[in-house]
Chain A
Amino acid sequence: MPAAEHELAALFRREAGSICAWLVRLLGPARLDLIEDAVQDAFSAALTQWPIEGTPQRAAAWLAVAARNKALDRLKRDMRLDSLDTQNEAAAWRLGFSNPDDTGKPDDTLALMFVACHPALAPEEQAMLTLQTVCGFSSREIARSFLSTPEAVTQRLVRAKRKIRGLGLAFEIPEGSRLGERLPGLLNAIYLLFNGGYTAAEGEPLMAQELCAEALRLATLLTQHAATATGETHALAALMCFHHARAAARTGERGDLVLLAEQDRSRWDHALIAQGFVHLRGAMSSTGLTPLHIEAGIASVHAGARRFEDTDWAALSRYYDTLLELKPTAVVRLNAAIACAYAMGPATGLTQLDALAGTARLTHYALYHAARGDLLLKLGRAAHAGDSLRRALECPVNGAERDYLTRRLLACEALAPATPAQVA
């Protein structure tokens, strides 16, 4: 991509969500499809016109006006098909009185997030629709994040928008008890978006980073709005700050995975960690304790440790005990066992891990076998450790994880060349 085009793509990514939210305010969520097409049209027009006529002084306003004009053209086409539709006519009039400088209002962006993350949509549809409408991702970019094809993504987005149209939604930030019903779902959708980036399976590392950054941006927006700045929202923002602060240190020079113990902590984003602690204080404002609160607390213990050896494992162990009460899932039990291994020694940790053996969710979960291998190696049982690492490599892993596990396995095999399992 030439430099100018790249710059335009970046500008578009920044502005598309604001323009989309503004047009949905004017035309209603039922016309999301038409609006998204109009925003794309405006971008295409900029791509062809700007290189010739020069970049306009107020580029963002130019894009807003262009998108609005394209929306009107599309409405007109619809009107020709159904000339008695007074709804379309009223929408056209609203466009006529609209102000292109009204884009970028947080209320509109938040309302759009509530539309895109409506519970009637499947979690993956929510994520895709949020990325397209709120974050300005193209279907090609979304496809790269979800290991899908642009065509398949477009199909799913069309279906999602059709569902939205059928719901007849108002464009608003829900109030009162309705907010209480909708907000946890929205937070969950943003969390999934973040996790999708954090543990991108075989995905492109750069794309994964952008997913995390976008999820963090959306959560931060929610913490800045009086209606949505609940303790739980702050807890989510804190959690993401702490995790995302480690992004640069998580991958080595060759894109390989660097574990928490081996990360160069000077490469952590300490400003972001400080922001995380601000959100953590904000999280105290809620009356109830949610799993998000505990997860943020756990992440804060890691983020607050200067060196790996300084990690407060006892505090982590306590957090995991609380989390187990709120969310007794297999993955939480796995993490609790790992924290316990550090707090009370590898033997205790291994006993806990072995108690989880055969749990359906963990049988094909690489991290379970990798953690077992790690503890077995610490206990000097290299041969058994090798078996566990081989089991881990049979599970779905991404490239960086595979490299890491392979390196560990080679180390084990150097210590114990022939494993009992192989002999048998």
Chain B
Amino acid sequence: MPSFMMLLHGPADRPRQTASNPQEFTHMTREYMEWADRMRAQGQLKGANKLTDDAGKILRTDGGRLSTTDGPYAESKELVGGFFIISATDYADACRIAESCPHVKYGSYIEVRQVQEL
């Protein structure tokens, strides 16, 4: 079965927002945990990771020279906060799974991309 990557985009200032309400934040974290455990139990979740809450680094070759700069989102309002890798039959199936993810409620949007099988 093909694999799909779910990139979880969220507002860049999320940590500041949620820290004010730990109750709600824990509830939210628990929803992610339960969703991931459910998907894993069904054999549909192949991996997951949280990324750190910063914009990361960008490496570019510029006229043969390699340059490193801060991530592209430094001034923007969006960050990829984490990712899931899931098994699905096709994009429609993958999107159906993504719809059930609590990130739909709490994040900005989910980018679904199919992993190229070699």
* Interface hub of B33, B37, B82 (most chain A Cβ within 10 A): B33
Q: A83-B19, A90-B53 are known contacts. Are A97 and B48 too (CB-CB below 8 A)?
A: yes
- A380 CB to nearest B CB, Å: 76
Whether B49 contacts A97 by the Cβ 8 Å rule is yes
A76 close to chain B: CB less than 8 A: yes
Indicate with 1 or 0, residue by residue over B19-61, a CB within 8 angstroms of chain A CB atoms.
Answer: 1101101100110110011001000000111101100000000
Whether A96 contacts B36 by the Cβ 8 Å rule is yes
Q: How far is the CA of A69 from the CA of B26 in the complex (A)?
A: 10
B29, B37, B40: the one contacting A93 at CB < 8 Å is B29
Whether B26 contacts A92 by the Cβ 8 Å rule is yes
A254 close to chain B: CB less than 8 A: no
Interface size on B, residues (CB 8 A): 23
B63 close to chain A: CB less than 8 A: no
Q: How far is the CA of A95 from the CA of B37 in the complex (A)?
A: 11
A86, A96, A100, A101: the one contacting B29 at CB < 8 Å is A96
Indicate with 1 or 0, residue by residue over B71-109, a CB within 8 angstroms of chain A CB atoms.
Answer: 000000000011000000000000000000000000000
The dominant DSSP class at the B interface is: helix
B15 close to chain A: CB less than 8 A: yes
Chain B residues with Cβ below 8 Å from A90 are 15, 50, 52-53
Q: How far is the CA of A100 from the CA of B18 in the complex (A)?
A: 25
Whether B30 contacts A89 by the Cβ 8 Å rule is no
Whether A72 contacts B29 by the Cβ 8 Å rule is yes
8 smallest CB-CB distances across A and B, nearest first, come from A79-B22, A96-B32, A76-B26, A96-B29, A97-B50, A97-B48, A93-B50, A92-B29
* A-B residue pairs in contact (CB < 8 Å), sample of 14: A72-B30, A72-B33, A85-B19, A86-B53, A89-B19, A92-B26, A94-B50, A96-B29, A96-B36, A96-B50, A97-B32, A99-B36, A99-B47, A99-B48
